[in-house]
Amino acid sequence: MTAPVLQVEKLIKHFPVVRGVLRHTVGQIKAVDGVSFDLRAGETLCLVGESGCGKSTVGRTLVKLMQPTAGRIVLAGVDVTHLDDTAMRPHRRRIQMVFQDPYASLNPRLTAGEIVGEPLENYEALAGAAKDEKVAALLEKVGLRAEAMVKYPFEFSGGQRQRLGLARALALRPAVIVADEPVSALDVSVQAQVINLMMDLQEEFNLAYLFISHDLGVVEHIGHRIAVMYLGRIVELADKEALFAKPLHPYAEALIAAAPIADPRARRDQLVIEGDVPSPMNPPSGCHFHTRCPYAVARCRVEDPPLREVAPERWVSCHLREPAAPAAAI
């Protein structure tokens, strides 16, 4: 097995809550609360969960749009956790981000050529015909015509703008792309085209994707492994097939049960989770999911279950899924 291109260890991102004219810190929003995973070249790890579970904050922290509160980020063997903007610069080309809203993430005053060419200018000092040639090749790689170079973002459709975002992300040949809900703002028919393009690009460039999504239909199509997040933590991490066939964490079970299925004759057992997600400022004691979990027992209210490997490559944080104890020697 190849070495991971990205290693994330006990990542924490808390946001202080300040009040009053003296701006006293009165609490912390625990947006990301100890997230660990590896990402290998050529694989897609999907981060899924309800809105506000911390998945986008994980992505933004990994590309250093915000500094982590604690934990470790190792990118292609280099610990980049505490690097500031200047020190991060040579490593930034290895990890790029594609955003949910392609229109908001593209500078409306720049042409497509300038948008895709900007990283080439800044990181590779390319200019003139050499830059234009590379930009044209990148645009064609994502299914846009080279002549589109002179157009502005408003002249493209939503799907084309997301292709433009992909071309820009690809310009520096990154090892990792963090894609934050990259198709959720697009029509369903266009979603499939962009997802298929991402899969083709992954195969061609051996890209690793951290694919953040709330849409299990999309995740089932593109993902290799899936990490289910709840209140800033991963509660289950497994191969896609294993997770969809038999989710082991009650929250993962409920998410999958609620996902729409293409074949109406196929039935999934329904597990309905009631209530709202608790505040990440004041998460419940013990297992953070116990206030909504239909299987909760007394122990769940006081004891926090660690994320444990309950089977090869299968990690679950639930007291009901403790790995079997090794058989005693005779």
Name the minimum Å distance from CB 232 to ligand SF4.
15
Q: In degrees, to the nearest 5, what angle opens at C-alpha 211 toward C-alphas 106 and 164? A: 25
Distances (CA, A) of 74 to 61, 92, 157, 173: 12, 12, 36, 18
In terms of CB distance, is 59 or 305 closer to ligand SF4?
A: 305
End-to-end CA distance of the chain: 35
- CA 180/CA 157 separation, integer angstroms: 19
Q: Give 77's contacts (C-beta < 8 A, 6+ positions apart).
A: 3
Name the minimum Å distance from CB 256 to ligand SF4.
15
Name the minimum Å distance from CB 236 to ligand SF4.
10
In terms of CB distance, is 159 or 283 closer to ligand SF4?
A: 283
Q: Which two tokens stand for residue 287?
A: 């297992």
Binding mask 195-234 for ligand SF4 (x = CB under 6 A): ----------------------------------------
Pairing outcome for strands 208-213 and 176-180: parallel
Are the C-beta atoms of 226 and 46 separated by less than 8 Å? yes
Name the minimum Å distance from CB 271 to ligand SF4.
11
- CA 231/CA 51 separation, integer angstroms: 10
- CA 126/CA 140 separation, integer angstroms: 19
In terms of CB distance, is 168 or 288 closer to ligand SF4?
A: 288
In terms of CB distance, is 174 or 250 closer to ligand SF4?
A: 250
Name the minimum Å distance from CB 291 to ligand SF4.
8
Name the minimum Å distance from CB 279 to ligand SF4.
18
Q: Which of 66, 110, 192, 320 binds ligand SF4 (CB under 6 A)?
A: 320
How many binding residues for ligand SF4 (CB under 6 A)? 13
Name the minimum Å distance from CB 155 to ligand SF4.
49
Chain Cα centroid distance, residue 152: 28
Q: What are the phi and psi torsion angles at 177 (to 5°)?
A: -120, 125
Binding mask 57-96 for ligand SF4 (x = CB under 6 A): ----------------------------------------
Name the minimum Å distance from CB 31 to ligand SF4.
20
In terms of CB distance, is 172 or 296 closer to ligand SF4?
A: 296
- Alpha-helical (H) ranges within 85-214 are 85-92, 112-124, 128-141, 158-170, 188-205
Q: What are the phi and psi torsion angles at 32 (to 5°)?
A: -130, 125
In terms of CB distance, is 195 or 293 closer to ligand SF4?
A: 293
Report 249-308 residues binding ligand SF4 (CB under 6 A). 249-250, 287, 289-290, 293, 295-296, 300, 305
In terms of CB distance, is 178 or 318 closer to ligand SF4?
A: 318
Q: Give 105's contacts (C-beta < 8 A, 6+ positions apart).
A: 99, 165
Per CB under 6 A, the segment of 42-50, 95-103, 209-217, 313-321 that binds ligand SF4 is: 313-321
The residues of the shown chain that bind ligand SF4, judged by CB under 6 A, are: 249-250, 287, 289-290, 293, 295-296, 300, 305, 318-320
